[in-house]
Amino acid sequence: MTTAEVEAARYSWGGDEHVFVELAEQMSLQANFRAMAITKLLREQRPDGVLEICPANASYQVRYDPDVLDPRELLARLQDLEAQVGDAHDVALQTRILEIPVLYQDPWTTETLMRFRDRHQDPDGTDIDYAARINGMSGPEEFIAAHSGSPWFTSMVGFVAGLPFMFQMVPRERQLVVPKYLRPRTDTPKQTVGHGGCFGCIYSVRGAGGYQMFGITPAPIYDPTQKLPDFADFMVFFRPGDIVSFAPIDRERYDAYLAEVEVGTFRIRARPVEFSLQPFLDDPDGYNTRLLEVLRAD
């Protein structure tokens, strides 16, 4: 993909204070990386009157004060940033790689999903049974290996406070794709590891949801009290651009981590990394291997 082949962005206004910029009609790492690169430049060059900058999966939104910043001036600046970034393939992102432990097929999400089988495509199985079958796999074990075998890129954080949307870092033909429930549930356990369409997520709080449920993590990702060490700076742990490795654990390890959470000593394993899009696109598997080596290094 070259700069000349990049889709032109579509700009639209939201009332008197917002401009919405759609960079692509479908999600891809390329589109998401362009959104992050443009919004990063906008923050660095932030003009007076820009109030909020919110990157999303394949778009971003800017809130501004029209009494301070002329909308036409803002639009021209955003279009200039779009031209500067181009395809974003030469942009390097300073980010983190995280290890998120997961108890797959845990008793809590299993109990919950069984209460809502009337809203599911496969009322006779579990969510992970269904996900494995429609992805052409032999069963949950093969699906778990695929789900945890490659890293995931955090494309945006939000919708519910602290909830990360994650995009699997493999070629599109190998991505896990599972539709959401036919009708949403009214309950989802906190810290459920879910999946809807091409996106993975972690439910930051207990509540309604429609993503398939595969397991649960003991790792808190949202702490409004900011009592845990991972939340000293902010109540939301995830940031756009974080790279995630899911690590399968057993019930004993889950309980041990939960005990650490309760006494306030638990930390999510994290390492700083630089992510560059073009080297990843050139060799996804090799690039992922090197990323995971960074996480494992002491």
Query: What are the pLDDT digits (tens) for 174-206?
Result: 999 999 999 999 999 999 999 999 999 999 999
pLDDT in tens, 124-142: 999 999 999 999 999 999 9
pLDDT in tens, 206-233: 999 999 999 999 999 999 999 999 999 9
Q: Domain segments of the chain: what residues?
A: 3-87, 94-296
Check residue 1 and give its pLDDT: 34
Residue 279 has pLDDT above 70, yes or no: yes
- Whether 9 and 56 have beta carbons less than 8 Å apart is answered as no
For 70-117, strand residue ranges (E) read 92-104
- Whether 6 and 34 have beta carbons less than 8 Å apart is answered as yes
The CATH architecture of the domain made up of 3-87 is: 2-Layer Sandwich (3.30)
Residue 235's CB: how many other CB atoms inside 10 A? 13
* Domain 94-296 falls under CATH 1.10.1060.10: no
* Phi-psi category of residue 264: left, alpha or beta, with phi > 0 → left and psi -120 to 50 → alpha: left
Radius of gyration of the chain (CA): 20
For residue 246, what is the enclosing H or E element?
strand 243-248
- At residue 5 the predicted structure's pLDDT band, cuts being 50, 70 and 90, is low
- Average pLDDT of the chain is 94
Check residue 293 and give its pLDDT: 93
- At residue 4 the predicted structure's pLDDT band, cuts being 50, 70 and 90, is very low
Share of the chain above pLDDT 70, in %: 98
Determine the Cα–Cα distance for residues 152 and 95; give it in Å rounded to an integer: 13
- At residue 52 the predicted structure's pLDDT band, cuts being 50, 70 and 90, is very high
Mean pLDDT of the 263-279 span: 95
Which amino acid belongs to residue 137?
M
Check residue 83 and give its pLDDT: 94
Closest to 150 (Cα-Cα) out of 291, 48, 296, 298? 291
Residue 157 has pLDDT above 60, yes or no: yes
- Whether 212 and 151 have beta carbons less than 8 Å apart is answered as no
Regarding pTM above 0.85, the answer is: yes
- At residue 237 the predicted structure's pLDDT band, cuts being 50, 70 and 90, is very high
18-22 and 164-168 strand pairing: unpaired
Check residue 91 and give its pLDDT: 80
Closest to 209 (Cα-Cα) out of 162, 159, 135? 159
